[in-house]
Structure 1
């Protein structure tokens, strides 16, 4: 009977885990999200490998410690060993940690190098942090200059709700049935799916940090310094983040929303957002006046 009930339970837990892994971070989520990019998934996989290595080391170390504490205690007549050290044992517990560190560092370093490589980007977006909002400038899209430039701030209803004495309930702020209190903005950053997007990140006042967990990285925004990162979102969707650097009084109220659209839809959006061309200047020709004769 236990086996019959266990099988559906395992399947259900697997489905829930996969759903949570593909979604934005959820309340009480204990593990990293697998994210919406290849980078995020590789970061998650390396994290899990290192986590299980640490679990295995903990089991061995604490297992040996508890065996020594309970099996070889004085009340059972245990007598301390007379030898001072074992060269072979010291060599083993020195070499094994070195191999574990090398085995863990190699894939992590390789991934960090790929994450830092912004070459062959097909699009560039400049991100500037302010107290307490973000500015997005679309610098380049396949060699064209879209000229799109806007500020993204906390959504107005959430901004009113957070005020002391507003009398408004944060639980009423939802998008598609999910609570988005302090996680929604008036103007999201829109990016195309399947395009390598380079971000150049800076700040205008104090240090901020641009962080969307589903992308698999975060980047500090430092005044006077340009940091760079890149992403390629695989699936359309809305991915939320926040400033990850304590930057002042309203630090908690500068969320980030990235909206990934299929390439065709993104280009339609970009066309609609492009600034209207300036009206052509009209030259007014004044006819010379002739003074009356006589």
Structure 2
């Protein structure tokens, strides 16, 4: 009973109206999203089967009850039977429910086993949850070595109601995960701060990401397309701004994407060793700040005290450069300030720090270079 109930509960959870965009929204408003993996198809069938079984039981039980109330009502002269035990009835109401539960548990068990079979993947990707973004590391397969951070890309104007909402409102990202169609993809989930959950309804995947632990799940998408999900754990202030976007593409398109990402990584490595002009760093830092910092510290640098302190006029920003670099690299334990040392390149961190030290009322005129960040890392 417990196993069947868990499967029924999980499939019902996937059916919650989560305002998912595009054609899937219209098809899944009152049901699950159309499945694009074998496991998601099994979950969809289980969901339907459980609902049918529950409907039949509901109609049968209440039908007999209302028939008995109507047929044997007092106004028709019915006299209540007087008996204590009936062995046949007791056997029947014990055996029949057991058979029903076994019939529900058998397919549910097969689906749960299939969901946990992460053996022999073609591609392995680590998904790390951060407040409030996802980091992806391609650990096995053609894209091995690719690493990037995926942030929500819905414009602030739409979020604040100053512009019409787009089709993929709150479910679009700047760097989507890309995988080839028809390949088994193993997802390793973990988190850097609090518990998150990697949830993609069309794939039938929902796996918690827990700090200090590695958990895994898998999928094999049978159709090319763009599929969207979200963090399904209440992970803090911007929980609703932590989407997941996966592009399933052909093998050829995937190889081209891998080549592009590897070329971008090589260019990024070159940036980490060059020296920038102050204006270049400020321009680049504005983009990095808008993507990674503005949600907490606000675009105007005023923050949301006391949880998110202002950077405009901050003693940290206006003080010793090394101290600010240490805060950005390592974060501040016990606060919402995350460590960006494993998230951003040396060039991006240098640009962001330079931007904060030369924006709003801050005007230090200092340029923090990528080599300064490398030195602070001990490299």
Structure 2 length-normalised TM? 0.62
Q: 2:28 touches 2:34 (CA, 8 Å); kept in 1?
A: no
Compared CA separation, residues 156 and 54, structure 1 to 2 (3 A): closer
Which residue, 146, 149, 154 being the options, matches 1:148? Answer: 146
1:228-265 CA distance string (max 9 Å, x none): 00110101000111111111111111111110001111
1:40-99 CA distance string (max 9 Å, x none): 001111111111111100000110111122222223222111112321111111111111
Aligned length: 246
Q: 1:24 touches 1:239 (CA, 8 Å); kept in 2?
A: no
The Cα shift of 1:167 comes to: 2.1
What's 2:196 paired with? 208
Question: Secondary structure, in 3 states, of the residue corresponding to 2:208?
Answer: strand
What's 2:236 paired with? 248
* Equivalences for residues 249-268 of structure 1 within 5 A: 249-268=237-256
What's 1:225 paired with? 213
- The answer on 1:160 being equivalent to 2:154 is no
The Cα shift of 1:23 comes to: 5.0
- The answer on 1:236 being equivalent to 2:234 is no
1:121-146 CA distance string (max 9 Å, x none): 111000011111111111110xx563
What's 1:292 paired with? none
**Unaligned stretches of 5+ in structure 1?**
1-21, 174-178, 280-294
- The answer on 1:98 being equivalent to 2:98 is yes
The Cα shift of 1:27 comes to: 7.6
Give the aligned CA root-mean-square deviation in angstroms: 1.8
Q: 1:24 touches 1:240 (CA, 8 Å); kept in 2?
A: no
Distance in 2, matches of 1:214 and 1:119, equals: 21
The Cα shift of 1:154 comes to: 1.0
What's 2:172 paired with? 184
Identify which of structures 1 and 2 has the higher relative contact order when contacts are C-alpha pairs closer than 8 Å and 6+ apart: 1
1:94-126 CA distance string (max 9 Å, x none): 111111111111111111112111111111000
State which drifts further: 48-57 or 26-35. 26-35
What's 2:118 paired with? 118
Compared CA separation, residues 123 and 62, structure 1 to 2 (3 A): same
Q: 1:23 touches 1:35 (CA, 8 Å); kept in 2?
A: no
State which drifts further: 202-211 or 68-77. 68-77
What's 1:42 paired with? 42
**Unaligned stretches of 5+ in structure 2?**
1-21, 271-379
Q: 1:132 touches 1:253 (CA, 8 Å); kept in 2?
A: yes
Q: 2:115 touches 2:217 (CA, 8 Å); kept in 1?
A: yes
Distance in 2, matches of 1:25 and 1:167, equals: 24
State which drifts further: 254-263 or 80-89. 80-89
Q: Which has the higher strand share?
A: 1
Decide which structure has the larger Cα Rg and report it: 1
The Cα shift of 1:25 comes to: 3.8
Distance in 2, matches of 1:27 and 1:53, equals: 23
Q: 1:242 touches 1:254 (CA, 8 Å); kept in 2?
A: yes
